[in-house]
Copies of this chain bind each other. A is one copy, B any other.
Amino acid sequence: MTVEKKVPKATLQRYPVYLKALRRLKAEGVTRVMSKTLADYVSIESTTIRRDFSFLGNLGKQGYGYDVNDLIQIFSDQLGVNFDEKIILIGAGNLGKALLNYNNWNHVVGEIVCAFDLEPERITGASVPVYGLNELSQRIPSGCRIAILCISKETQETVDLLVKNGIRGIVSFAVDHFSVPPGVYVKQVDVVSSIQELVFETNALHQ
């Protein structure tokens, strides 16, 4: 967290895209990359990429490009990618368990340490321990800031509980509406709304 200038929100939202692409390139054995190449890869203008990168220092070299490994390292150092980030899952039903297994999680951003559910005794086949929601304050891992929300009732109450216990970021698959205090960030995933947006875009855009 050594970022000097204020990084624009739009830029912050693109960093994960870059990081994902860079990791993939590294896995493919690529050691250096130019902004234009990366631009084609992630469908973001090369100018935008260079400006985004510039917030983290002078990372590239003229006439050469960027070193992939260096870039990944700097992203990790400066933005606080914590491979030991402790993440909790709230609601260990079908969706929760599916998410657990679907993403190949292995320490890219940390790990899901445990899950909490209203009826923990009913959950079978989860790959992490499942505790009752009422035990949250005792069982929550120390330093845990991120929660994945896969519940369908008592949403606001649960969110309040999470915030009270130190959660600062929530990826939510819950369909219910809820609100959080300032300083808590939410990524809402709603398939129905996403489809709606797609329909609106295909209908309204470029006509």
Q: Which A residues from 1 to 50 make CB contacts under 8 A with B?
A: 1, 3, 7, 9, 12-13, 15-17, 19-21, 24, 41, 43
| A164 at the B interface (CB under 8 A) | no
Q: Closest residue to A79 on the B side, CB-wise?
A: B200
A87: B residues at CB distance < 8 A? 195
Interface size class of A (residues with CB under 8 A): 35 or more
| A138 at the B interface (CB under 8 A) | no
A15: B residues at CB distance < 8 A? 196-197, 200
Q: Which residues in A have some Cβ–Cβ distance to B below 8 Å?
A: 1, 3, 7, 9, 12-13, 15-17, 19-21, 24, 41, 43, 79-82, 85, 87, 93-95, 97-99, 101-105, 108-110, 145-146, 148, 150, 152, 168-171, 173, 175, 177, 179, 183, 185, 187, 189-207
